[in-house]
Structure 1
């Protein structure tokens, strides 16, 4: 007898946006739903702020970017790659075990695509990375971008959920949450990051080969969650 059970559809959602734009609101909400077919992977801030040596590399990066950008960018790229492989392992496990669930949702805080097209590019244009350092990070990006491009097939979807929040609102939230590692982040820096995000998202929309959903992040938490529900992601 031939089995009629179909493999579940895999949806990888990359939650994107500026620093303090509201990414955690979405990821915390998704995690709180406690669904078997939903996995959330947040940025490993603890790893960046408390390395084996006790170093807070995130704080050093914001305090002295010319010195620490390349080291921090490499660590971030490693984190993105690790998230990618975590998704791959969970995906294989789920596909082998699932019999009933139709869709498997992964929610990942940022991707290697935004790391490069937003943060790495901003650092390079601000002369915080030299040409050789930028070329090395470009090689990392190009290698994993190919892997992500291979994700979008008949059974798998990669899409971006962009939380569009003004730099001014991000700055207010950043000051309110008062993380020591972020004390040196300026409003100008947030404006630069926002512009890079806008440029990148607009390119994706023009190319029309990546699914992009846009959320208004300037509103309150309840409204943001309401917008997420309307996307029918689950």
Structure 2
């Protein structure tokens, strides 16, 4: 068995020590900020990440959608949208794995900015599948057990959550303008459900634990106005502060 000071390696994790709470942590990255950009589908996360990617000391990680579309030749993302009851657990198990991989990968800059997080994967998208009756209770229980084990045993630090708060109607209009094949069948009702889950989690704070301070940015404006908002909030975001 490895001692706490030794390295534990697998295909996805490289852990080097334990925290005072007994969680596996990485060495040498305690001072690096992690910012998660959260929001509904088509709320403007890509625009936000592209804006901050021009800053030299920020590492930007987008959602690994290409992985979700191609797992050894299979497209679990597309399958989930076609038949969520059958394929929901398949996709969400893989999303949980790939998001954990992103959280734990070595940070190559003083700051990391991520598109969503392992937390929203569980609290928003898995929760929505379950509440809508499209995920069987046994599937939800298994995913919950995995998530709880991960968060109880592995340190997944987040310093700030930037919530791009946009109306479901705005997101629906933007979806019509995008060219992602899987998103063409997303109804307004789905976006409304995702919006409510985000509001309960990050605004009302009545549903699940919020792992970091939250900076709320209104995201219903057009591209140019959104860029102005990012410029206005730039100092707060880069300092990892919501005040």
TM-score > 0.5 by shorter chain = yes
**Further displaced range: 139-148 or 70-79:** 139-148
Following superposition, the deviation at residue 29 of structure 1 comes to 1.2
Question: Does the CA contact (< 8 Å) of 1:56 and 1:181 recur in 2?
Answer: no
Q: Distance in 2 between matches of 1:148 and 1:216?
A: 32
Question: Does the CA contact (< 8 Å) of 1:160 and 1:210 recur in 2?
Answer: yes
Following superposition, the deviation at residue 148 of structure 1 comes to 7.2
Give the 5 Å matches for 1:19-168.
19-33=41-55, 35=56, 37-53=57-73, 55-86=74-105, 89-90=106-107, 104-146=110-152, 151=157, 158-168=159-169
Residue 202 of structure 1 corresponds to which residue in structure 2? Answer: 203
Distance 1:150 1:171, change over 3 A: closer
Tell me the alpha carbon deviations over residues 177-217 of structure 1, each in whole angstroms, 9 at most, x when there is no partner.
12111111111101111111111113549978731001111
Q: Distance in 2 between matches of 1:8 and 1:209?
A: 16
- How many pairs align? 207
Indicate the SS of the match to 1:90. Answer: coil
Q: Distance in 2 between matches of 1:218 and 1:148?
A: 36
Q: Distance in 1 between matches of 2:221 and 2:104?
A: 34
Distance 1:230 1:120, change over 3 A: same
Distance 1:208 1:134, change over 3 A: closer
Question: Does the CA contact (< 8 Å) of 1:49 and 1:56 recur in 2?
Answer: yes
Flag structure 1 segments of 5+ consecutive residues without an equivalent: 1-6, 95-103, 152-156
Give the TM-score of the pair, scaled to structure 1. Answer: 0.80
Q: Distance in 1 between matches of 2:136 and 2:120?
A: 19
**Further displaced range: 106-115 or 7-16:** 7-16
Aligned CA RMSD, in angstroms, stands at 2.3
**Further displaced range: 119-128 or 205-214:** 205-214
Q: Distance in 2 between matches of 1:208 and 1:194?
A: 16
Flag structure 2 segments of 5+ consecutive residues without an equivalent: 1-28, 239-243
Q: Distance in 2 between matches of 1:63 and 1:208?
A: 31
Indicate the SS of the match to 2:160. Answer: strand
Residue 18 of structure 2 corresponds to which residue in structure 1? Answer: none
**Further displaced range: 162-171 or 127-136:** 127-136
Residue 226 of structure 1 corresponds to which residue in structure 2? Answer: 228
Tell me the alpha carbon deviations over residues 60-118 of structure 1, each in whole angstroms, 9 at most, x when there is no partner.
111111111010111111111110111xx226xx6xxxxxxxxx221001111111111
**Further displaced range: 115-124 or 140-149:** 140-149
Residue 12 of structure 1 corresponds to which residue in structure 2? Answer: 34
Q: Which has the higher contact order (CA 8 A, sep 6+)?
A: 1
Larger helix proportion, structure 1 or 2?
1
